Structure 1
């Protein structure tokens, strides 16, 4: 696999901040749409200038700029989406949407860590965490949120009945049966 493909392969490993992300997403092709692209193949770096849209299955990242880099040994692959804000969204295995936004969304593949920096928000089922920095280790399912100065970390947790009702709204309604005819059809009789 050449260096360019290693960077693109890194995008295949994008996952959500929940342990129940759709597994099918990771089997889908990665599509990057950008206004322009620069590649420094010798140094394993690519920059996509925006607006940038990355899609893979239900995963969608929108940014003003996307930087992808990896070290020679393949152990240090990093994706950085930058925007005002950059956004990340995905449909989870149970059909629930999850999203994140920040001025910088950084995904370190070697330690499976998603870091949101600057006006960071993480949301699922109406519940959310907001702070200056949110770090989520996907493998360990550990979240750390921090703020700076007098700002506070804000966590909003929706009651279970909100989550259940919003999940029911996403289900397709059962098909309605055909209406019962109010008139009998005319029967043609054979002429003899």
Structure 2
């Protein structure tokens, strides 16, 4: 009987010993940390799924991985052969895969690394889209996808190549960056493919390079190629250039040459130009049926019903050229015509008389404080 009791005690001791030896080791021999809270050794699992739910109990995203391991401090979870599934604000399903991944539990940001591929359906248009890159961050709470690595965006079979990407699934905006002779930045609310014309269509688009910025309600292009291409913009077109110059119109055609914004041709009823002068608080302004902005030369060419003022004097004719760098103008008659150039010279104010009122376009009626007498006109 004594031998049997001794054998039972030995067996229990052996089991307890195995449990203690097999238990996860804690730093400092299992002692508490300085805060008095035992250190969490984390967890590990194979072929596991992590599901994050929102306040309504619905799944915000799911993470499947061949290997899941929580860091000892519990702040991050490492993932191998990871698969990420999530839905955008419209309910469309998106799926991503990568060789490796890491989940920051506090921020909800999932970092994907190696052979990253994301596929889903674009909101509104319903067109399939894919993203391919080597590194990508996905903020699961803000629903923002971002990468600073070279990226390929495939929209309905058409490829867009860029240096970086930021896509907001909530706001339905995609921003692409192209690094060519000073970064181009393309920001658009949506991107679609027009199969009838084989062009890309952008809505609420902004393209910028250096001090030059083009924005419009709509834009069309044959591809995201800034080497040598021509883009068409329509609806509330605004072009900001060097030396605080700006152009506004209904339509514009922008030419890209050698990866630079080379020329912009704007048309409208009318097309408008303005620039704040460096030597005064006045604005140089003008309008015409067509205005051509040559970025390399720094000139604005106004033609057809052209009118221009330097803030004091006025000039009108069929062809006017304004240099935005030197802030001076030149005029000439249209080739093959005897049309004259008209210059209106405003008298300078006497000392202490105060500032003169800025010149107004010819179709503007004089205000109550403006003189009704005609100004002298010179015809060279």
Task: Settle same-fold status: TM greater than 0.5.
Answer: yes
CA deviation profile, 1:109-131 (whole Å, cap 9, x unmatched) = 22222211111111122311111
Distance in 1 (CA, whole Å) between partners of 2:357 and 2:330 is 31
Q: Tell me which protein shows more helix as a share of its residues.
A: 1
Whose RCO is larger (CA < 8 A, sep 6+)? 1
- Output aligned runs, 1:41-120, within 5 Å: 41-42=224-225, 43-54=228-239, 59-72=245-258, 74=260, 77-93=262-278, 94-120=280-306
Distance in 2 (CA, whole Å) between partners of 1:91 and 1:163 is 23
Distance in 2 (CA, whole Å) between partners of 1:84 and 1:51 is 12
- Output aligned runs, 1:1-192, within 5 Å: 1-2=178-179, 5=184, 8-9=208-209, 12-13=211-212, 30=213, 32-34=215-217, 36-40=218-222, 41-42=224-225, 43-54=228-239, 59-72=245-258, 74=260, 77-93=262-278, 94-139=280-325, 143-148=329-334, 149-161=337-349, 167=355
Q: TM-score, normalised by structure 1?
A: 0.63
Q: TM-score, normalised by structure 2?
A: 0.34
SS of residue in 1 equivalent to 2:355: helix
Cα pair 1:62 1:87 within 8 Å, conserved: yes
How far 1:169 sits from its partner (Å)?
7.0
CA-atom RMSD in angstroms: 3.4
Unaligned 5+ runs, structure 2: 1-177, 186-206, 359-380
Aligned length, in residue pairs: 151
Larger CA deviation: 61-70 vs 1-10: 1-10
Larger CA deviation: 128-137 vs 1-10: 1-10
How far 1:31 sits from its partner (Å)?
6.2
Q: Tell me which protein shows more strand as a share of its residues.
A: 2
CA deviation profile, 1:36-68 (whole Å, cap 9, x unmatched) = 111333343221112323457964422111221
Cα pair 1:96 1:167 within 8 Å, conserved: no
SS of residue in 2 equivalent to 1:126: coil
- State the structure with more CA Rg: 2
2:56 alignment counterpart: none
Distance in 2 (CA, whole Å) between partners of 1:67 and 1:118 is 17
